[in-house]
Structure 1
Amino acid sequence: MKVRTKYIDLKLIPHHLALNFQIEQRENIALLKKENLDTSQSNVLVLCEHNPILTFGSSAKESELFIAKDKLKSVGLDISYIRRGGAITFHGPGQIVGYPILDLENFKTDIRWYTETMAKVIIDTLKNYDVEGYYDKEFPGVWINDKLSGKKKKICAVGVHLSRWITNHGFAFNISNDMKYYQYFIPCAINEPDRAVTTLSKELGREINIDEVKNIILQNFEHHFLTELVRQGSIEVVLSII
């Protein structure tokens, strides 16, 4: 039986609701595994956007903020401490956030394979726009090289959590999100002068249809993870977690 992955587009949704949904789906898969039941039809891929928020991973430090934590609200930023690897990551409208909740025993029980395969999905999506991306193991994420400035620019952050081979969290792909929020923190604790953050819209010098990008991501996800995506209704899902 081919592994299936339910695809849910949660559109623009508060971060805490998407996090609750991830936890619920993880627990559903964990319960099936505990009972030695098949999980090959229970994998989930969520794509969504969030209102402006900084998420703190397991290695994040408040010293990586350029503004007092209690002042973040005044500049329009919420904050959330979450269970994923990495430091501080920004989420906001115009950024595609991907949350694969997968039982890797249906795919491959190798965390490096998983993160690099997720990166390949984004790299191949960039190819559709004639942008050459690559995965950097030292600074996990998808990067592009600026030939004029010589800078390495991060266009997609990657940060995951894994327990009992069940994944959650995932990637944050900058499409057209507002870059002003990056002045308030060190993105992913990377403060090297030859590195920066960018968006697809900025690199191409034009507006990007975010739904078009999502569809390309879905095609590449099916290809690289060898899974069949089954679309689910987002409205029903949102109602179930409010």
Structure 2
Amino acid sequence: MTRNDICEEILWKKSDGLTPYPDALDFMATRSRQIHDGTADPVVWLVEHPPVFTAGTSAKQQDLYNPHHYPTYEAGRGGQWTYHGPGQRLAYVLLNLSQPNGTIPPRDLRAFVKGLETWIIETLSRLGVTAFTREGRIGVWSFDPLTGEEAKIAALGIRVSRWVSWHGVSINLDPALDDFDGIVPCGIREFGVTSLRRFNPALSMEELDRALAASWPAHFGSIPREE
């Protein structure tokens, strides 16, 4: 896709501070209905949350340990248990999937998930981190520079209501990695988690956000327009 093929803008909304998780659920539920009804535009919303564990539709109770007694929420998205907390960038992607979005054909959930994965991988490449997906594993992975082992650096979880997407992706910039010990992340016991700070201690959230915006158009066909 060339720049000449990109003719639309998408609202790029960023919230400072820590957004309570229930507030995010309320916003996404309302906005997804409005997008379906044609009364609001699609949006990518960048947030951070206080420490929480969220359960996807496949979450198993035995995979939750929660030694710090963080709040837990039913997210309504696909997937299993996920941790969110300060230092982790959430990008909630609310798109009308009934129409094409860049390289994503209409109503093609597989292509949409692949688009999210390649968006993350390109974003991390811009930051000097090689990342990849693995067959049979959810999320985006890299080789942890401290252990040399494969570890998850980003997670995906989506919900689609009347062909409008909500939820999205999370990328570990510098969260408290020990907090992931409170769950079996995405039901995968064999591998750990890592963060961008292990690759580059000086990397900022602003740099990550710029990389996300710069990588978006080639995959989703619209140019980010900050609110």
TM-score, normalised with respect to structure 1: 0.83
User: Structure 1 residues 208, 146: closer, same or farther in 2, change over 3 A?
Assistant: closer
User: Which residue of structure 2 lines up, in the alignment, with residue 6 of structure 1?
Assistant: 11
Please tell me whether the aligned partners of residues 123 and 132 of structure 1 are also in contact (alpha carbons under 8 angstroms): yes
User: Structure 1 residues 77, 147: closer, same or farther in 2, change over 3 A?
Assistant: closer
Gaps of 5+ in 2: 1-5
Identical aligned pairs, as a percentage?
29
User: Which residue of structure 1 lines up, in the alignment, with residue 212 of structure 2?
Assistant: 217
User: Which residue of structure 1 lines up, in the alignment, with residue 3 of structure 2?
Assistant: none
1: distance between equivalents of 2:88 and 2:209? 11
Deviation for aligned residue 1:228: 2.0
| Higher normalized helix content (fraction of residues) | 1
Q: 2:114 aligns with which of 108, 113, 116?
A: 116
1:30-54 deviation digits (Å, cap 9, x = unpaired): 222xxxxxx8x81110011000000
Gaps of 5+ in 1: 33-38, 233-242
Deviation for aligned residue 1:165: 1.7
Please tell me whether the aligned partners of residues 143 and 149 of structure 2 are also in contact (alpha carbons under 8 angstroms): yes
TM-score, normalised with respect to structure 2: 0.88
CA RMSD of aligned residues (A): 2.0
Letter in 2 for 1:50: H
1:10-30 deviation digits (Å, cap 9, x = unpaired): 222111111111111101012
- Greater Rg over alpha carbons, structure: 1
User: Which residue of structure 1 lines up, in the alignment, with residue 125 of structure 2?
Assistant: 127
Question: Where in structure 2 are the equivalents of 1:138-177 lying within 5 Å?
Answer: 138-146=136-144, 149=147, 151-177=149-175
Mean Cα deviation higher: 100-109 or 167-176:
100-109
Q: 2:23 aligns with which of 17, 26, 33?
A: 17
1: distance between equivalents of 2:116 and 2:7? 19
User: Which residue of structure 1 lines up, in the alignment, with residue 180 of structure 2?
Assistant: 182
Report how many residues are paired.
Answer: 216
1:109-129 deviation digits (Å, cap 9, x = unpaired): 211111111111211111123
User: Structure 1 residues 43, 62: closer, same or farther in 2, change over 3 A?
Assistant: same
Would you say 1:229 and 2:224 are equivalent positions?
yes
